[in-house]
Amino acid sequence: MFEIVERSEMAQGTIISNWLRAPKIAKKALPGQFVILRANEKGERIPLTVADTDPERGLINIIYMVVGKSTALFKTLQVGQGYMDVIGPLGQPTHLEKVGKVVCVGGGTGIAVMHPIARGLRQVGNHVITIIGARSKDLLILEDKMRAVSDELLICTDDGTYGHKGFVTDMLKKVLTENKDVGLAVCIGPVPMMKFCCLMTKEFNVKTLVSLNPIMVDGTGMCGCCRVRVGGEMKFACVDGPEFDGHAVDFDELTLRLRSYLAQEKLSYDQFKAAHGHNCACHT
């Protein structure tokens, strides 16, 4: 068992952080890589980015949003309990190079994915401008951690309850207008956010990386579930990605593929909630 040694809830209990005992993964995981977890023998395999590592204590950090049956089941796991399987690190690590000035844009749990990437980009000598956003102040996560790995941190909320009122794309436009020397953008978050960030960076001709989250099963390039079209070619996000050139990704096809099992996912989640009644820790 991969034991949970620290657990916390963020964003009104909709986002959960676990530090797990996984010493081999903690030693090897690099920014951009992910793991696949199962809570128990019958559990679904869920890919989650390694949000942080503590190799000395042999721990890895995962951060996930409760969106369906499996993540609701994950949420019921407390300190001292754990996951039956955690495999990884999987996927290609982020290519970290010095380009000068970088803009990192994170939305929702994409901020957790962004954290090790922003830190890595800064460690190789880049000036990192980070933009993070959420619908409202109480849904914003990891502000302090992102501030610590950024030269400048800009915060946006859709409703204006914190930071600048508006979307991260508006702030991205402002940053790109004021900083003509940005050499790279990294945008990670919900698919529509990444799509619109990429349309924006294309206007400014700034190379852009995105981290994709298609449905995955094996995570090792064998099942084909995670295929995404990039530059007209079929790629497997689990082995070729999860990061790709955002200007070449077919986001519309990705959106359709992510919706393939919505009806089944909803049914499964409803049954889980009914079975767990009001004691279910997933009720938020």
Footprint on this chain of ligand FES (rule: CB under 6 A): 216-219, 221-226, 236, 238
Neighbours of 73 (CB within 10 A): 21
Residue 242 Cβ vs ligand FES, minimum distance, rounded to whole Å: 10
Element (DSSP H or E) covering residue 53: strand 46-54
The dihedral region occupied by 23, where left means phi > 0, alpha psi between -120 and 50, and beta the remainder, is alpha
The string over 202-219, giving b where at least 16 C-beta atoms fall within 10 Å of a residue's C-beta and e elsewhere, is: eebebebbbbbbbbbebb
State the minimum distance, in angstroms, from the CB of residue 19 to ligand FES: 25
Cα–Cα distance between 39 and 24 in angstroms, integer? 19
Q: Min. distance of Cβ 234 from ligand FES in angstroms?
A: 11
Nearer to ligand FES, 48 or 206 (CB): 48
Pick left, alpha or beta for residue 64 (phi over 0 → left; psi -120 to 50 → alpha; otherwise beta). Answer: beta
Minimum CB distance to ligand FES smaller for 133 or for 219? 219
- Residue nearer to ligand FES on the CB measure, 215 or 248: 215
Nearest-approach distance from CB 34 to ligand FES, in angstroms: 11
Nearest to ligand FES of 87, 191 (CB atom): 87
Burial of 157 (0-12, 13-18, 19+ CB in 10 A): buried
Q: Which is nearer to ligand FES, 137 or 257 (CB)?
A: 257
Rounded to the nearest whole angstrom, what is the least distance from the CB of residue 233 to ligand FES in the complex? 15
